[in-house]
Amino acid sequence: MNRLSNSLVAADVAAVLHPYTNARAHEQKGPLIIDRGEGVHVYDEAGKEYIEGLAGLWSVAVGFNEPRLVEAAVRQMQKLPFYHTFAHKSHEPSIRLAEKLVEMTPEGLDRVFFTSSGSEANDTVVKLVWFMNNALGRPQKKKFLARTKGYHGVTVASASLTGLPNNHRDFDLPAIPVRHLTCPHHYRFAHDGESESEFCARLIAETEQVILEEGPETIAAFIGEPLMAAGGVMPPPAGYWPGIEALCRKYDILLVADEVICGFGRLGSSFGAVHYGFTPDIMVLSKQISSSYMPLAAVVFTDEIYQAVADNTNKIGTFGHGFTASGHPVATAVALENLAIIEERHLVENARQMGDLLQVGLAPLADHPLVGEVRGAGLIAGLELVSDKATKKPFDPVGKIGALAAEAGQEEGLIFRAIGDTLALCPPLIVTEEHVHQIVQRMEATLNKTARALTS
Ligand code: PMP
């Protein structure tokens, strides 16, 4: 390492508390400092090239050096670098983007509220739905249904919706009324001998039982990621979403699709809800909306919800919610350009084709001695490592071999995310056939290296 990198590493360790990082281990290990990006690649300070197999944080659709996004940002910076959208003010990029999202999302989703992160967007969902039910004179209808291992963010309400122990334990959460239902992942949560369709039927029956137990008049909304991503890349069993949708309709419960990762083509369809054949009342969008070049998220919802909120403001005042950066002009201008590129370059279609290749390429790795299950859809995949393939017994402690594999992957020039012992891939939508082959090859080399490290 050169002097600059040494001093940077030292400065990082001295000053930064990193998100989702073991602070004590970081003091020993220091950061991998990424210096620049190009297409699907990023480069560290020493010039080593990596395929960014997680598109940053599941988010960079168009690659790491798209000049059109830079130009869009500069143009907007020069014209109007900041303005807000409070108190009857607006600006063109946020208006155009809202219009575009209404056009792109399924029929019926007609209104948009902007935030800067997925977490803020999910907190907004909670408050929007509570505000609406107060407006409709049913203040008892406030509870949320979510799923174990679901991921919806880290702010107080969104972390409450998240169904992962690390996001609750030691943070005194959940802090809002939420019931977490069984995770719809057959490999881990099915009973012995239970088929996928039996498993699905059991989950739907469980959901109905919880609704009846709590009382439908107390349940405001069901929230879920179409394909659960950050909790471990877990596609739902066939028929799950139509079953959940039917229950929501039957009991007057709003259905919220958290599309923060699935949205804008990740699964090879425009949105996850379209992919799995259901129609939500609310969609939460972020990440690929701007390829994360600028922080941005959006809550897109029905006119019915809007009308209730608008009526309430007539009775009790303004809708008392919003962020300084809601609809930020530079972020929304960049998002508009990013969405134009996704359309012009047919990146959703590319995700479908390259996604098929990725899934077919990874499938044989299920025979690797370390791998319990290979799963995914479109351009998102997970490989779960187990100590015993027959019994699905995890390694002890969970997370250790995942971390080892992530290190080995980096040495092989492939960055992915280890979620416990599930290795998650989610490459940029611009990947080519050659990149997909390289990803598969490097993943196989990573598994072999990890297996050797285990036995040495
Ligand atoms: N929802 C989902 C489905 C996510 O995957 C994430 C982030 N990975 C979030 C919400 C939270 O987004 P943010 O990190 O921007 O707050």
pLDDT bin (cut points 50, 70, 90) of residue 455 is confident
Task: Determine the atom of ligand 1 nearest the C-alpha atom of 258.
Answer: 3
pLDDT bin (cut points 50, 70, 90) of residue 3 is very low
What average pLDDT does the structure give for the chain?
97
Helix axes 303-316, 118-135, angle to 10 degrees: 70
Report CA(224)–ligand 1 centroid distance (Å): 12
Report CA(414)–ligand 1 centroid distance (Å): 23
CA-nearest residue, atom 13 of ligand 1 = 118
Task: Determine the atom of ligand 1 nearest the C-alpha atom of 155.
Answer: 16
Report CA(152)–ligand 1 centroid distance (Å): 5
- pLDDT tens-place string over residues 91-145: 999 999 999 999 999 999 999 999 999 999 999 999 999 999 999 999 999 999 9
The residue-averaged pLDDT of 214-237 equals 98
Task: Determine the atom of ligand 1 nearest the C-alpha atom of 262.
Answer: 3
Task: Determine the atom of ligand 1 nearest the C-alpha atom of 225.
Answer: 3
Tell me, yes or no, whether 4 lies in a domain.
no
What pLDDT score does 316 carry?
61
pLDDT bin (cut points 50, 70, 90) of residue 213 is very high
Residues 53 and 162 in one domain: no
Q: Domain containing 54 — which CATH number?
A: 3.90.1150.10
Q: Domain containing 293 — which CATH number?
A: 3.40.640.10
Report CA(7)–ligand 1 centroid distance (Å): 32
Residues 128 and 268 in one domain: yes
Tell me, yes or no, whether 330 lies in a domain.
yes
| Cα Dmax for the chain | 70
Residues 48 and 99 in one domain: no
CA–CA dist 352, 357 (Å, integer): 9
Last residue of a domain, one of 344, 379, 396: 344
Residues 243 and 131 in one domain: yes
The residue-averaged pLDDT of 280-294 equals 99
Last residue of a domain, one of 344, 359, 384: 344
CA–CA dist 17, 5 (Å, integer): 18
Residue 79 in this model has a pLDDT that exceeds 60: yes
Pocket probe mutation, ligand 1, options 233, 261, 289, max atoms within 8 Å of Cβ = 261
Report CA(151)–ligand 1 centroid distance (Å): 7
Task: Determine the atom of ligand 1 nearest the C-alpha atom of 259.
Answer: 3
Pocket probe mutation, ligand 1, options 123, 124, 151, max atoms within 8 Å of Cβ = 151
Residues 117 and 224 in one domain: yes
Residues 249 and 292 in one domain: yes
Report CA(59)–ligand 1 centroid distance (Å): 10
Residue 1 in this model has a pLDDT that exceeds 60: no
- pLDDT tens-place string over residues 393-440: 999 999 999 999 999 999 999 999 999 999 999 999 999 999 999 999
Ligand 1 cavity residues, CB under 6 Å: 117-119, 122, 151-153, 225, 229-230, 258, 260-261, 286
CA-nearest residue, atom 12 of ligand 1 = 118
Tell me, yes or no, whether 12 lies in a domain.
no
Identify the residue whose tokens are 């143009």.
75
Domain count, the chain: 2
- pLDDT tens-place string over residues 353-372: 999 999 999 999 999 999 99
Residues 373 and 419 in one domain: yes
CA-nearest residue, atom 3 of ligand 1 = 260
Residues 365 and 329 in one domain: no
Domain housing 161: 69-344
What pLDDT score does 456 carry?
80
What pLDDT score does 4 carry?
46
Report CA(452)–ligand 1 centroid distance (Å): 35
What pLDDT score does 6 carry?
76
Report CA(420)–ligand 1 centroid distance (Å): 18
Residues 114 and 174 in one domain: yes
Cα 382 to Cα 166, 341, 365, distances in angstroms? 20, 27, 11
Last residue of a domain, one of 309, 344, 379: 344
Task: Determine the atom of ligand 1 nearest the C-alpha atom of 57.
Answer: 8
Minimum mean pLDDT range among 10-19, 52-61, 127-136, 313-322: 313-322
Report CA(91)–ligand 1 centroid distance (Å): 26
Query: What was the ipTM of the complex prediction?
Result: 0.99
Tell me, yes or no, whether 11 lies in a domain.
no
Residues 250 and 384 in one domain: no
Task: Determine the atom of ligand 1 nearest the C-alpha atom of 154.
Answer: 16
Residues 302 and 442 in one domain: no
- pLDDT tens-place string over residues 147-187: 999 999 999 999 999 999 999 999 999 999 999 999 999 99
pLDDT bin (cut points 50, 70, 90) of residue 305 is very high
Q: Which residue has the higher pLDDT, 404 or 317?
A: 404
Report the predicted TM-score, pTM, of the whole model to 2 decimal places.
Answer: 0.98
Residues 143 and 213 in one domain: yes
Report CA(154)–ligand 1 centroid distance (Å): 8
Task: Determine the atom of ligand 1 nearest the C-alpha atom of 120.
Answer: 16
Report CA(266)–ligand 1 centroid distance (Å): 14
pLDDT bin (cut points 50, 70, 90) of residue 5 is low
